[in-house]
A and B are shown apart, each in its own frame.
Chain A
Amino acid sequence: MMDRSEWAVEARGLVKVFGDHRAVDGVDLNVRAGTIYGVLGPNGAGKTTTIRMLATLLRPDGGSARIFGHDVTKESQIVRQLIGVTGQYASVDESLSAMENLIIFSRLLGLSRSEAKRKAESLLEEFSLTEAAKRPLKNFSGGMRRRLDLAASLIAQPPLIFLDEPTTGLDPRTRAQMWETIQRLVKTGSTVLLTTQYLDEADQLADRIAVIDHGRVVAEGTVDELKGSVGTSSLHLSVQHPGQIESARQMVERVLNVLPSVAYDSGKITAPMANADGVTDLLIALREAGIPLAEMSVQKPTLDEVFLTITGSAASKQSDSPPQQQTKKAEVANV
């Protein structure tokens, strides 16, 4: 079916310069067909510019990109037949109704009048927009507009769909609906490349993630790999008697040989856990010392920590402060 290439997207050293600002500064991306790929980064990191270059909306100033093996600059018209784009700002016609929008896009994609009408109706149904089909878009809510936008990208059932911040500005319920729709898309064989600023979104949806900052890919991998790369899980302990918290802290420090952080008001001790086996020794030692625990949990690093660590250290390289400190800041911020 999509045997042209097992790679939906192959980008090598993409560069885009606006004036003297290098918005995208050598981005490499490889997206396997049939997966969801997340591009994560803060505002202004170059996510949208990267997507616009891959979607033939912007001409790269350097590097190359292929979509299912077709070059985005030399074979742009072929690439356009393989992609659907849902932009950050709804790319639908404000002055027309939802139905009219979908019919026009369908007609442009080569459907006959009756096919276009049927397609528009079924998409409106699928995205629960049927009731609003004839209303002008001016009265649409943000969520409805996004849904219509996504529906418009799916008319030709393109094998690759670009979603630029698909849930920015949506309420939590609409967001969850959007996630469901995206997951359903991939089940039907599509590949999705989405950008997001939300870590939980990438965590929920993406098979692989690239973190972009200052126009460069600063980290790439599966969600677990990325979490693993910022190091260790952390151990959270709270003691039953707040008076024992200081001795518990000393014990953690001695047995695990690490520097725990303590929140005295909640009686919580947090320590990095490099070696899971060491926890056994700690628990035995605590029991022997007669310090009963109220709660114990192990937390893997969240993507937030990953994000702050990676983008934080990239920023610190520029300001020449030691990256170690940044990591700590990220941990403290999370405690």
Chain B
Amino acid sequence: MSQTTMNTKAHRGLKNRTGFLQSVRHSLTMAYRGLLKLRRTPEQLFDVTLQPIIFTLMFTYIFGGAISGDVQSYLPVIIPGILVQTVITTSIVTGVQLREDMDKGVFDRFKSLPIARIAPLAGALLADTVRYTIATVLTFAMGYVMGYRPEGGLAYVALAAVIVIFCSWAISWIFAFFGVIARTASSVQGISMIVLFPLTFLSNAFVPVETMPNWLQWFVNINPISHLVTAVRDMTNSGTVGWDLAISLIGAAVIVAVFAPITVRAYMRRT
């Protein structure tokens, strides 16, 4: 409580805006907080550890014979599909936890601190990429155990993993928005499932598009999830990148560009 620090503070110019670098720094600190929380409450990681294992096993053995003749030849189809589905579903939890977190007193302090308004949100979302990473690694590991050997090689598998994690982070902004505007955590879960369930299943993730009725093919082909799944298949199975990857990345960027600002605005308005 020394006088000197107070003096320097008074003489330092007070600015009404937070710079970009400062915002990044604040967000990283908030992400660090998210990681500390994860370490303190490891039970939060149940879904990202169990879901990849159970879903990969289940879907592969249920659909494998029917769709590709046998499990071995279904693996290159289903592993990228289940990867995208699992990791993106995991991002719902981000919105739910954000809602729970925001109801706690500590968010009052965050609001009263001279930090970038986006930081508490961006930090929470950033910390959750750890969860997506766990889900991604476990899905690939399960696939490997069941006999999946991606032709694209390790480098492309790693690249695919990064792309999926990035896209899930982008999509988590949608659920963060629900998290900020919804009144309870369970309603966030509800709305998010209604949005995500059709999106992940009305895609090429599990079943070849040709087997679907025409009107459904139309939707499946414009569904961004399909593009992401195709992009991941291209990378892991043949080591190629194409138009689908570009569409996925553009889509992710658009989601962030739209939802990050409106989420922050909703967060600031909320009291």
Contacts and interface: CB of A to CB of B under 8 A. Distances in A.
Contacts of A154: 1
Interface stretch (A101-109, A227-235, A255-263, A311-319): A101-109
B6 A189 contact: yes
Contacts of A92: 105-106, 109
B5 interface: yes
B29 interface: yes
Given A78-B16, A96-B33, A89 B271 contact: no
Contacts of A291: none
A85 interface: yes
Contact of A104 (B1, B7, B33): B33
12 contacts: A57-B108, A57-B112, A57-B271, A76-B16, A77-B16, A81-B114, A87-B109, A91-B107, A104-B32, A108-B26, A136-B40, A159-B6
Given A1-B3, A78-B15, A109-B113, 13 more contacts: A59-B269, A59-B271, A76-B16, A77-B17, A77-B114, A78-B114, A94-B106, A95-B37, A105-B113, A110-B22, A152-B109, A157-B5, A157-B9
A82 B10 CA distance: 9
Interface of A: 1-2, 4, 52, 55-59, 70, 75-78, 80-85, 87, 89-96, 100, 104-105, 107-110, 126, 136, 152, 154, 156-157, 159, 185, 188-189
Interface in B147-179: none
B41 interface: yes
Contacts of A82: 14
Contacts of B18: 77
A55 B119 CA distance: 19
A105 B109 contact: yes
Contact of A87 (B29, B32, B105): B105
Contacts of B107: 91
Interface string B22-42: 100010011011001100110
B12 to A, nearest CB: 9
Contacts of A4: 10
A159 B3 CA distance: 11
B110 to A, nearest CB: 8
Interface residues of B, number: 37
Given A100-B36, A108-B26, A55 B113 contact: no
Given A56-B112, A77-B114, A78-B14, A96 B105 contact: no
Contacts of A188: 1, 3, 6
Interface string B241-271: 0000000000000000000000000000101
B29 A104 contact: yes
Contacts of A109: 113-115
A76 B112 CA distance: 9
A85 B112 contact: yes
A95 B32 contact: no
Nearest to B107: A91
Nearest to A188: B1
- Top 3 A-B pairs, shortest CB-CB distance: A80-B114, A91-B109, A91-B105
A93 B33 contact: yes
Contacts of A95: 36-37, 40-41
Contacts of B26: 108
Contacts of B10: 1-2, 4, 159
Contacts of A105: 109, 113
A99 to B, nearest CB: 11
Contacts of A94: 104, 106
A75 B16 contact: yes
Contact of A108 (B6, B17, B104, B113): B113
B18 to A, nearest CB: 7
A56 B7 CA distance: 24
